[in-house]
Structure 1
Amino acid sequence: MELTRMRPADRTGTAQRPLRVLLTTDWWEPVVNGVVASVATLRRELLALGCDVRVLTLSPGMRTRSEEGVYRIGSVSAGLFYDRARLGMPAGRRVLREILHWGPDVVHSHCELSTHMWARRIAKSLGVPLVHTYHTIYEDYTHYYSPSRTVGRKVVATFSRGVLAGTDAVIAPTAKVARLLGGYGVHRPVHVVPTGLDLHRFRPARTVAEQSDVSALREDLGITAGQKVLVSVSRLAKEKNLDEVLDLVAGTGREDTVLVLVGEGPYRAELEARAAALGIADRVRFTGVVDPAEVQRWYRIGDAFVSASRSETQGLTFIEAQASGLPLLCRRDPSLDSVVIAGRTGWQYETAAEFSSRLDELLDDGALRREMSRAAVEHARATCGAQEFGQAVLEVYQQVQRRRSPLIIAPQAVAA
C-alpha cells in the first residue's frame, strides 16, 4: 500500500489535545507472554495519563478488523519457525487509512517483524517519532534457526542494527539488554525502562476463600499437606531451560518436594520424558494451559519459585511470583540482579550444589521462608509499579518529540 507523506508543518494543534500514541505488536491478547503483558500494561497506564492510545496487531486469522481501539491485520501462521508465531498479510488498507486519518503523534513498536514494518512506514509517512522496545534476546533462540550459536549471534546483531537504525529511540527493559545492543553496534539513543506490572491480583493467599482455593488446587494435583511445592511459570519451550530445573530437582534427592510446571508449549513431551528418565515423574506436575486471569492462583500454592532460564529480558513472572510471596531460586543472570536480592528475596545459583544448598536452607527454615516471603512482596511492590513505568515511557516520547521539534516548520513560515 502506498502511504501519503504528511509534512511536519501539517501536524498542528497537538498541544490542545491528548498525545496520540500508536502501539504496534505482533502479539496481543488472548496470547499470554511477556510482550503482551508489557504492552497491555503500558496501554492502560498511558490512557490513565490522558493519552489517546491505539494498538496495531495481527489478527489470529486472515480477516482484518478493528475493535475498541485495537486494529488487527490479517495474518498467516508461521508456526513452522516458532510456535504460535504469525506473519502479517500485505492487506489491511482500510485499517491503515483509519490510522493515518487519526494521525498518531508517536509510533511505538514492540516486535521486530510484521507490525514493525507497518510502524516504520506509518511513522515515516506522518513525519512522527518512532520508538521501539527491544523485548527479546534473540540469540537465546538460535536453536530455532542456526546450528551454530556464534553464527546465530552474528545474524541477530546484523538484524538488530537494521531494525533499530530507523528509530528515534530504543527502550531496553534492563541494563543487560542495553549492553547487548551496544555490543551489536546499535547507535541509537537507548533508555533503560523496567517494565511495570499491575500487581493488584498478585498477593499471598490471605482470605479464607484464597486459602481454601490453595488447598483445593494442591489436592487436585495430588500434593499432600507435608510436601513442599516449587513453582515455575513459563512457556514450555527449549529456551526456558526447564531440562536443567528437572535435573536440579532430581539431584536434591528431596522426596518431600513437588515441582509444578505452570504453562504449555512445544517442549512438553520432551520434559515429561526427561522427568520419567530421572525417576521423578511422580514429583512433577504439568498443569497445561492456564487462564491468564487465574495465574495468581498457581503462584499461591508454592513455597518457592524456581527457574533456570537464560532468555529473560526482565523476568516478569519472577516479579509476579515475588508479589505473590514466593522467594526466588534462579540461575544467575544479570537481568535479574535488581529482582533477586541475595538472602532477602531469594538467591541466584551457578552450580547444582549451590541450588541444592539454598533450597535446603529455604525449605527447612520456616521462619526464614516467611521473612523472605514478606521481603519479596515488599520489593516487588516498591520497584515494579505500573504507574512509574507509564510515566517513564511518556518521558521518552516527550524527549524524542523535543529532539525533532527544530525540524517542525511553523505555519506562518510556510505562509511566508
Structure 2
Amino acid sequence: MRVLVLTTWFPDTGNQATAPFNLKHVQAIADDHDVRVVHVRLGGTGAVVSENYGGVPVTRISISPLRPLGYLALARHVWAALKEADVLHTMAFTSAVVAAPIHAFRRTPWVHTEHWSGMADPASVSKLWVALSWLRYILKLPNVVTAVSTAQAKQLSRFARGGRVDVVPNVISVSKEKINRTAPANGVTRLISVGGLVLGKRPLLAVQTLALLRNQGIDASLTWVGDGPLRANMVAAAAAAGVTDHLSVTGWVEPQRVQQELRKADVFFLPTSHETFCVAAAEAVAAGLPAVVTDLPAVRDFLTAENSVLVGNDSAQDFGAGVELALRRFANVSGETIAATIPSAFAPVLVVEEFTRVYARAGALSL
C-alpha cells in the first residue's frame, strides 16, 4: 500500500531523541509498504525541507500562528500527496488536529496512532488543555484508531469511532548480540534511567532514591540518559544530597549510545508518573536488564515478575526497596533469560502485520 504518514512528532538530525518510536513504526511499515512522511513542525518558521531520514522520504513543513498562510502551503502539499496514497496515517494527537480540516475534503482511509499520555488526564497537562479537551473527540474522524498499550486503548475508546481502539505496540527489537550480565563491578550497583528530565519522569525522586540507597550502605550510582528543563534542578538536588559524584547525566545521545549505556548497567530504574507504553523500559529489558518502574497499567503488557519489580507507591523508600528486591530476584538470572520475556509481538515484522490489518479495516486497498 501507499501510506502517507503525517506527524507532528518526528526526529531529525538536530534532535534524534524526539519520538524515536514514531520513526521505528514508520520503518517497520516501510518494510512492507511504500511510505512517505510529512513532518509538521508546529511553531516553526523554516523553509520546506525534503530529505531521506532513517531510510524513509520525509518532507518537513513548518506552520505557525504567526504565519497562517503556512497552513495553506501544508494543505496543498498534503492534498497532492493524498491523491497518491491508499491510506493516511497520523501519529500523535496534534497530527490528527492538523489533518482533520484537510481530510474533510479528501476522504482517504484514515488511521490514527496515539502516543500522548495527556489524552487520558488533561488536568495533568495544563488548565488550557482541560478547557480544550473536547478536541479529543476528533478521534471519531479516523476510520481506525490504534493505541500502543492495552491500558491506553481502554482510555481512548470513548473518543474513537464505534468505541473501538486497536492495540498495535511500539517496536522493540531484542539485540542479536550475546547479552552478558555480570555481578556489579567492585560491588557498585549501577542504575540507569532513560528519558527526558521533565516532571513526569520524576528525576528528583530518582536522586532521592539514589541518596537513600547509599545511606543504607548500598554503593549505588545512577546514569541518567537524557536531558530536559529539570537538569539544573536534578544536579542541585544531587549536590544537596551529597551524591554528585555518583550521578551522571549524559544529555541526549544517539540510539546506539543508549544501548551502550544499558549494557554497562545492572538495573534499569525509572520512577515515572505516567506512560502510554514506556519504550525505555522495554528496550532495557530487551537488552537483558531487570527493570524497576512505577506500577502503571500501560507497562503491564510487558513488565512482569519475570523481568521487573513494579513499585506501587511514590516514595524514595518504596523505589529503594524495589531496587534492592530486583538485585536479589535477578542476581542469578541471565540477560538472555530476561530479554526473552519481551513479547514477540513487539518485533517489527509483527507490528507491520498488525498495521496492514488495520489499514484493510480502515478501507484501504488490500494487498
TM-score calculated relative to the size of structure 2: 0.84
* Residue 137 to residue 188, structure 1, CA distance change in 2 (3 Å): same
Contact 1:168-1:189 at 8 Å conserved across structures: no
Contact 1:107-1:119 at 8 Å conserved across structures: no
SS class of match (2:333): helix
Pair 1:227 & 2:188 matched: yes
Residue equivalent to 2:300: 337
Contact 2:172-2:286 at 8 Å conserved across structures: no
Tell me the amino acid that sits aligned with residue 2 of structure 2.
R
Matches of 2:303 and 2:6, distance apart in 1: 31
Matches of 1:241 and 1:98, distance apart in 2: 44
Task: Provide Cα deviations, 1:183-215, integer angstroms capped at 9, x if missing partner.
Answer: 668754311121222444786359xxxx9xxxx
Cα deviation, residue 126, structure 1: 3.1
Tell me the amino acid that sits aligned with residue 129 of structure 1.
P
Task: Provide Cα deviations, 1:111-138, integer angstroms capped at 9, x if missing partner.
Answer: 222x434533444433211111111111
Matches of 1:334 and 1:202, distance apart in 2: 31
Matches of 1:203 and 1:347, distance apart in 2: 24
Corresponding residue to 1:397 among 356, 359, 363:
359
Contact 1:197-1:385 at 8 Å conserved across structures: yes
Matches of 2:275 and 2:172, distance apart in 1: 16
Contact 2:38-2:58 at 8 Å conserved across structures: yes
Residue equivalent to 2:252: 289
Matches of 2:193 and 2:335, distance apart in 1: 16
Alignment of 1:229-308 (within 5 A): 229-252=190-213, 253=215, 254-308=217-271
| Aligned-pair identity (%) | 24
Residue equivalent to 2:48: 64
Cα deviation, residue 28, structure 1: 1.7
Matches of 2:75 and 2:165, distance apart in 1: 32
* Residue 77 to residue 287, structure 1, CA distance change in 2 (3 Å): farther
Tell me the amino acid that sits aligned with residue 392 of structure 1.
E
Matches of 2:239 and 2:65, distance apart in 1: 33
Pair 1:374 & 2:336 matched: yes
Pair 1:133 & 2:113 matched: yes
Pair 1:38 & 2:1 matched: no
Q: After alignment, is 37-46 or 308-317 more displaced? A: 37-46
* Residue 271 to residue 143, structure 1, CA distance change in 2 (3 Å): farther
Alignment of 1:98-247 (within 5 A): 98-101=80-83, 103-113=84-94, 115-138=95-118, 142=123, 145-146=126-127, 154-155=130-131, 157-161=133-137, 163-182=138-157, 187-200=162-175, 204=179, 225-247=186-208
Cα deviation, residue 359, structure 1: 2.1
SS class of match (1:371): coil
Contact 1:203-1:323 at 8 Å conserved across structures: no
Matches of 1:203 and 1:384, distance apart in 2: 20
Q: Who wins on radius of gyration, i.e. which is larger? A: 1
Task: Provide Cα deviations, 1:68-104, integer angstroms capped at 9, x if missing partner.
Answer: 42121124599xxxxxxxx993234663354144x21
Matches of 2:65 and 2:175, distance apart in 1: 35
Task: Provide Cα deviations, 1:320-367, integer angstroms capped at 9, x if missing partner.
Answer: 10111110011110111122111x1011012444433332233357xx
Residue equivalent to 2:285: 322
* Residue 202 to residue 327, structure 1, CA distance change in 2 (3 Å): farther
Matches of 2:268 and 2:205, distance apart in 1: 14
* Residue 383 to residue 277, structure 1, CA distance change in 2 (3 Å): farther
Pair 1:349 & 2:349 matched: no
Residue equivalent to 1:74: 62
How well do the aligned residues superpose, as a CA RMSD in angstroms?
3.2
* Residue 38 to residue 274, structure 1, CA distance change in 2 (3 Å): same
Matches of 2:132 and 2:264, distance apart in 1: 39
Matches of 2:82 and 2:224, distance apart in 1: 44
Query: Where does the alignment leave 5 or more consecutive residues of structure 2 unmatched?
Result: none
Pair 1:21 & 2:9 matched: no
Contact 2:75-2:102 at 8 Å conserved across structures: no
Matches of 2:60 and 2:174, distance apart in 1: 28
* Residue 347 to residue 280, structure 1, CA distance change in 2 (3 Å): same
Task: Provide Cα deviations, 1:23-63, integer angstroms capped at 9, x if missing partner.
Answer: 111122223457x33322222222222x2111111356520
Contact 1:164-1:170 at 8 Å conserved across structures: yes
Matches of 1:229 and 1:75, distance apart in 2: 44
Contact 2:292-2:326 at 8 Å conserved across structures: no
- Number of matched pairs: 350
TM-score calculated relative to the size of structure 1: 0.75
Contact 1:21-1:105 at 8 Å conserved across structures: yes
Matches of 1:339 and 1:88, distance apart in 2: 45
SS class of match (2:248): strand
Pair 1:55 & 2:66 matched: no
